[in-house]
Amino acid sequence: MKVAIVIVTYNSGDDIQACLEACRPFAASIVVVDNASTDSSPRWATVANSHNAGFAGAVNQGICASQEPLILILNPDCRLEGTLEPLTALFDDLTVGAAGGLLLHSDGTPQVGFTVRRFPTWQNQVAEISGLNRLWPGNPINRSYRCLDLDLTREQDVDQPAGALLMVRRTAWEQLNGFDEGFHPVWFEDVDFCYRLRQNGWRIRYTPKVRATHRGGHSVNKLSWRCKQMHWYGSLLKYAEKHWSGRGERRVALALLLVSIPRGVFGMISRLSSEPLVVYGKLAVQAWNVLRGRVRPGRGGSS
């Protein structure tokens, strides 16, 4: 089956040319959607947005601008190695809605813990918020969440391949009305899409036979610290509201509320700036509103 490759850029000028050169032998078409970059990225764009449409919105634009039955969503800091045929072959099974390959560090070692993950639960996200997963990476909750127990040399069904290298079937994408653009500008949109795929009966596969070197965080690292905190926690709360019971959502909100004030105070002292206190104060308000049952801004989106 023919493949379109959709690449979303945001100040990706250092990466996009090499990414495109690695892609061209494998794609029937390549669509580059730029999210209002201020560097050289727009010169490579098929679609140049005048504002940041977010990752989900840009992916939807790119898929709409292509026609092929399979679409590979690829980060601009990925370099495909070899062929895409083992990945496309997985879609001969008509129950497969999405599939991913193996992501590698620049030294050729697998990106264990990122290439494939299991779906978030309130338990593993409380462990994430509390800092447990950082202090004790080998704890059973984190091992399960990040698939540290998974044999990445084996082709298999998985929950959530990384959105950096994710192939989707167009008919599945259409059935789900694409990515939920309420996850703006970034985080959890690919997780939400995979979860909805599984809820609608589609299989999600992984093969180690398709590989890409992945630098990682090229666009996210250009966001300010304030934006990273607000967007990650905001998207997590949206995911919790959308997919978990009220009890699960409240437990995540409570964990966020409990860590916000001490982190704000510690950040203010360590950074000699009031910004951490302001940011975590706002996050505490969001968490409190969830606990009180109030509607958060931006709630809703595709189902």
Domains in the chain, CATH or no CATH each: 3-115+152-217 (3.90.550.10), 120-146 (no CATH), 224-291 (no CATH)
Residue 252 CB partners (closer than 8 Å, separation 6+): 122, 125, 126, 129, 236, 237, 240, 244
CA angle 165, 166, 167 (to 5 degrees): 125
Residue that wins the pLDDT comparison between 295 and 259:
259
Residue 294 CB partners (closer than 8 Å, separation 6+): none
Q: Which of 168-172, 210-214, 271-275 has the lowest mean pLDDT?
A: 271-275
CA distance 214 to 292: 41
With contact defined as beta carbons under 8 Å apart, do 95 and 192 qualify?
no
In the chain, what percentage of residues exceed pLDDT 70? 96
CA distance 195 to 7: 22
Average pLDDT on 249-260 reads: 97
Q: Which of 12-21, 176-185, 210-219 has the lowest mean pLDDT?
A: 210-219
Note the pLDDT tens digit of each residue in 70-93: 999 999 999 999 899 999 999 999
CA distance 92 to 86: 11
pLDDT score recorded for residue 113: 97
CA distance 279 to 261: 10
In the chain, what percentage of residues exceed pLDDT 90? 92
Phi and psi at 161, nearest 5°, equal: -70, 150
Q: What band does 294 get if pLDDT is binned at 50, 70 and 90? A: low
Residue 302 has pLDDT above 90, yes or no: no
Note the pLDDT tens digit of each residue in 112-152: 999 999 999 999 999 999 999 999 999 999 999 999 999 99
For residues 284-303, b (16+ Cβ closer than 10 Å) or e, as one string? bebbeebeeeeebeeeebbe
Please state, rounded to an integer, the average pLDDT across all residues of the chain: 94
Q: Which two tokens stand for residue 295?
A: 């509607």
pLDDT score recorded for residue 72: 98
Residue that wins the pLDDT comparison between 218 and 151:
151
Kindly report whether the peptide bond that precedes residue 276 is cis, defined as omega within 30 degrees of 0: no
pLDDT score recorded for residue 220: 78
Which pTM does this prediction carry? Answer: 0.94
